[in-house]
Every structure is written in structure tokens, then in C-alpha cells.
Structure 1
Amino acid sequence: MASVLLVEDDPQVIAFIKKGLNEHSFNVTAASKGYDGIEEAMSAPYDIIILDIMLPDISGLQVCQLLRQRKNISPIIILSALDSSLEKVEGLKAGADDYLSKPFLFEELLARIEAQLRRVDFVKGITNLHSYGGVTINTDEKTAFRDGIKLELSPLEYKLLLYLMRNREKALARIRIAQSVWNMDFESNTNIVDVYINFLRKKIDKGFSEPLIHTVKGTGYMFKQM
């Protein structure tokens, strides 16, 4: 399940995009101001950022430039009512990966998002087979192994492991894990993430020489080899 950060100040556009992407199993977080978008983008790993140019505080171009200056490498798709060739060139020069003019068809936005995600997967060498730290996940067969031993996982345990694998070596907040794996917001005092992390630890760490799931104090968890 891919995570999307939408930086847009029009409530109708936000609702339209969120509804469409949620129906295609994307998890969408929205920010209505440029600085809020920057803060959110730097606080958690996002698979893709959708960015409006006309924002109430700073322009989307400035947001894009600042994110790139801060070494944020998430693909950025700019949405804008400004559709001249010059505006598109400026957007790409600012660090965007794609530029889509308003109004747009949702199907075109979805196709562009999927194209960017395929490009990232190609660069990372991600295929249907994920392998790290002795754990191998086959997304076609929805199976997982550690050191050749099959892991008997529930559907939610499998989704959690796949999310950790795809975001390995990153500190992941509990709320971000909850949003991405369960596709909904949880109250901050809920312990559902901790419960499932404990389930998963018993299956992929117990009995093996090296633990892979580590607690990050004050944040959440990290999937990492020591």
C-alpha cells in the first residue's frame, strides 16, 4: 500500500483525490499549506508527493525546491491550473518529476502516480521478490521465509512485514504504520501496532540469531540488521 502526501488547499480537490486514491488502496495524508506540507514530508517516508502550486503561504515551486534542498527524494507530481510550457519547465527545474495541469482526469493522475512508483521500484531493484536480513517475501504468492523457513503469517501480519521491508532502515512512527497497514487513523493511545509488532516478532525474530524489528524510543519501530 503506497503512501501519498497531498499538498493542496482546495477542499473539493482534496476530497476528489483522496476518494479516488483510497479506492485504489493508497493511503493519503493531506496538508493545506506549503510549510505544513514540508514538515509532513520530512517527518515520515512518503512514496509520492502531489503538490499544488498555488498555496496560501508559499508557492508549490518553493515547497519543491526546499524539499530537494533537504534531500527529500520522494517523487513529486505538481498539479496546477498554470499550464503554459514555461510553467511546466519551471516546475521540473524546481525538482518535480512530473507536471499535470488542472482540470485533469483522475485516471491520468493515477496513471502518472503508478508510472512514478514503477520508476522508483526499478531504480531500487524492487520486483515481486523482496529480500533483506535473511527474510524473503514473494508478493505474487504472498509468502514469506526467513533463512529458508516458511513464516506462517496472518494477512495483517503479512501486510505489516511487507511495509517494514519496503521501509527498512527507517524509523517509522506508530501512527504512520497504522495508517499505511490498516488504511485508517488510530487514536494515539491505541496499542494495535504494538500488538501486531509483538505477533510478528515471535514469528520472524524468535529462534533466530539476529533480531530484525527494533524499537525506536519515542518514535516507533525500525526493520534493520544490526
Structure 2
Amino acid sequence: MKLLLINDAPMPSDWIRRRLESENNLVAVSTDWQTGWTMAHESHYDVVVLAIQLSDVDQNSLPTFVQTDNRDIPLLLLVSPDTPSNKAWALESGADDCVGYTVDGRELSARLQALYRRRAGYPTRLAILRVDDLEVNLIGRTVYRAGQRIDLLPREYYLLAFLMQNQGRVVSKREILDNVWASHESTRPNTVEVYINYLRRKIDQPPAPKLIHTVIGMGYLIRSLNQKP
């Protein structure tokens, strides 16, 4: 998953980022919710995690922030103090899920996965993407071509998933960077080209027909063999 962690609380969030990244998630970080929500509008994230100290938050302003028009992005609140009334208030304000700041790392990961699965009615119908004999399972994070499993590194997987979600459409390098790389990561100009080549070696290995195409001066796309250029 590509996650946005917004830490608007005077508490360290490195443990959260490290835990999420250890499970092959891409994590962008913001230290205030106004900047974070701007990031959420400008790029694609699967889930937004907001850590807040409720004693320092204007409880009249948070519902406006949570109940934004950008509600296709699930929101999980990490609240402190960890009390039933604070959790109830966060959920009543519009959050999709809420846990205490001291939540166990495994539980946090499981809740994020559940939000991801529910997003936009994902289960079953949209969880598996196919282009000809190439199949990507977005929940299981598995890739098969012609029935043979292909093992990808996390970044390769997210790049392929983004191409598959936009199959038949040319996506620019800028779009790829915004959606596959977290905002805090430094990237070289040829980073996208490098990873496209990595993918081609695994996905389009001869004699398999080529599915990943370069459109000079525009970007890349993945398309069916039956689809006209």
C-alpha cells in the first residue's frame, strides 16, 4: 500500500513509519494536518493515517478536515489519550477507523489492510487486475503470467499495479513518481526508466509478447495485445 502518515501530535511517529515500511508499504510523512491533507489531494494514497493529541486539537475543526470531499481515501486516526470517549468522538467526526496511539503494530497493520480491502468496494471484483495472461492480485500482492508466479520487489510490484490500474492509458514519469514513490524519497531523473526495465525483464521476458510499452515523449502504458496502439 501507499500510505500517508500525518503526525499532528507531539509524539514520535518513527516507530509507526518503520513498522509500516517493514511490511513493504510506501510511507509518506507530514508533520501537520494542513500540509498532509494537501498532499492527500495532490497524490494518490491507499490510506491516510492521522496521529493526533486530542487535548491540542480544536475539536470543532477536525470534522471539517475529516469530512472532506476527498472521501475516497480511507482515514485511520491514531488518538491520544487512548480513551473510549476520544475514539468514539473520532469515529463520530467521520474517521473510518480509530485506535489508540499505543496500538500494537500488528493490529495497526491489520486495520490498515482491512480499510484497503474495503476501499471502493475492492473485495473480489476489483482486487484482481488482468491484461491478457498477466494477473495482479492487489490484496494478496501476487503476480502471475501465463499461470506462472512472478516474484517482484516491492517497488516493482507497486509500479506494475499502477500501470495495471491505468491499463490502456499513457502515464507520464511525473504521474508514476507521484503515485509509486513516497514524497520524502529522493529520486534521480532516470529512476522510472530503470524500474520499467526491471519490470520488463520479469514481465515481458521472451518469448512472452510485450505488454509494457514506451510512448516517446509521453510516458508508459500497459495494454492488451488486442488493443490498438
Name the residue aligned to 2:211.
204
Q: 2:135 aligns with which of 115, 134, 137?
A: 137
Comparing 84-93 with 52-61, greater Cα deviation is found at 52-61
Q: CA deviation at 1:137?
A: 1.1
Q: Give the structure-2-normalised TM-score.
A: 0.68
Q: 1:179 aligns with which of 178, 181, 185?
A: 181
Q: Is the counterpart of residue 74 in structure 1 residue 73 in structure 2? A: yes
Within 2, Cα distance between the matches of 1:119 and 1:214? 34
Q: CA deviation at 1:186?
A: 3.3
Q: CA deviation at 1:161?
A: 1.8
Contact 1:64 1:94 in 2 (8 A): yes
Contact 1:80 1:102 in 2 (8 A): yes
> Amino acid of the residue matched to residue 27 of structure 1?
L
1:161-195 per-position Cα deviation (integer Å, ceiling 9, x unaligned): 22322466788634335526xx99233x4212034
Name the residue aligned to 2:25.
26
After superposition, where does 1:15-94 map in structure 2 within 5 Å?
Answer: 15-54=14-53, 62=61, 65-66=64-65, 68-94=67-93
Q: CA deviation at 1:38?
A: 0.7
Name the structure, 1 or 2, with higher relative contact order (CA <8 Å, separation 6+).
2
Contact 2:66 2:95 in 1 (8 A): no
1:78-116 per-position Cα deviation (integer Å, ceiling 9, x unaligned): 111134444323322322111102322212211211221
How many residue pairs match? The answer is 208
Name the residue aligned to 2:6.
7
Q: Which runs of 5+ in 2 are unaligned?
A: 205-209
1:111-150 per-position Cα deviation (integer Å, ceiling 9, x unaligned): 21122122227546233x3136x574144762236xxxx9
Contact 2:3 2:49 in 1 (8 A): yes
- In structure 2, the CA distance between the partners of 1:28 and 1:161, relative to structure 1 (3 Å rule), is same
Within 1, Cα distance between the matches of 2:195 and 2:77? 36
Contact 2:54 2:80 in 1 (8 A): no
Contact 1:214 1:223 in 2 (8 A): no
SS of 1:77's equivalent in the other structure is: strand
> Amino acid of the residue matched to residue 50 of structure 2?
L
> Amino acid of the residue matched to residue 126 of structure 1?
L
> Amino acid of the residue matched to residue 75 of structure 2?
I
Q: Is the counterpart of residue 106 in structure 1 residue 108 in structure 2? A: no
Q: CA deviation at 1:196?
A: 3.9
Contact 1:151 1:204 in 2 (8 A): no
The structure in which a higher percent of residues are helix is 1
Q: Give the structure-1-normalised TM-score.
A: 0.68
